[in-house]
Structure 1
């Protein structure tokens, strides 16, 4: 069998480390996952994603570059096996909650017929496809589209409950999320043990009483899009949080307040105006000098 040639590029170090695994099957699985992750994801590059807009480091100039070129900078495409494993676990958690809500007939949104490939909206679990009459087993949930075409914003919520007039968001909480978003909260529960300093998971989860800040900003933007552009009444968002270390669950409710999203809507409108005139905006973090996000596009052009 001819030896495989691995070319340089994003993820090469991770890929080569997988090849050195003591167990060949484990190494092959890691390489398979990294190969798959290197393929085009299908994630739209012609819209502003709410998940990016709500981050504190969101750069207007980087967003302008991406919309104009419709590509991601190379740095954003780099990944690791651990990161892909985290994403996969998140997908499984989403599927679990959506399946339970589907079984209850409490999940509204888009549905995709695997038989005729049509997508249609239904306020509850459909008994069959309205286009080809395929049975329920041929239909999969396709979540809740939330788009503002004039502002080039496009996203999806995890679910919608017509009974509750509420969007649904499904989240997993791990130590990595807390280290990134609420390090001061995590540090409060670190204790000294014979094995070093570790978090007290029981107390930490007991005192976790609200969604993470980025998640709150994201659902506020989702609700703005639902109410103003999708004619979908959303008075609140219901969160389901799974705690990774113990598999315990909590539920939170966030009430709609459109004042949260107005600055983001104004920023999106400004970026669209700049696209129409082919005039790059200033970096909103570092002016003419640029920040790491927008400078990535310049590096890709070299």
Structure 2
């Protein structure tokens, strides 16, 4: 039976995103998901696992992460120390092999979802260094002489924030999907999942201001879906009304703007715009 991903009770997946996930599953290729931060790329993997009833193995990539760490690491320092102490375990090199996330996914007794999160944070060679292993679904452990092959081909989801270009050879082996920022209707559905029964007038006012902010030219960081949900949480906690949210004609910053604007440059931009609206050139 073919696995089919759909929206879950806690995640609204647009039809094109669901199709991309299912296409990658059918093709047995990694799904490369790009999109601006806060559009739910990481959460997608968790929801795919939940929707399909699978366990998830999560590998969070950092700027210092090497591809080899996803396979395994050999702790030569510990082995040297144990040899100096006369430890018996030193004679079995397997005691000093640390399994990486890819190894864990390959040896699982059931199919799993393998998330390689924020692949673009690492060195430019990082994706290429994983090509063969993700293609063949196996790798060799040189220290022990064994080959680790996937018992069940995992569903591989790779996320990128577009911080750097990924190699062509890597892209060829992936099914690609760009998560567009949700439109107002999709955002309403997302809000309904998190805050069911929110008063329509309050939501309309909040949505209007949110999209106005995102359209301001010169923003260093546009507020994301997750930040909009945080803002709504604060609005509800403060018991604000649609009238409370409305800004005076010459006031640019929204109420509780710290949930939406995350750097001083963007706050300064809104303050300059407010000053210009109060002091138009004659």
- Do these two structures clear the TM 0.5 threshold for a shared fold by scoring above it? no
How does the TM-score come out when normalised to structure 1?
0.21
Structure with greater strand share of residues: 1
Higher radius of gyration, 1 or 2: 2
How does the TM-score come out when normalised to structure 2?
0.23
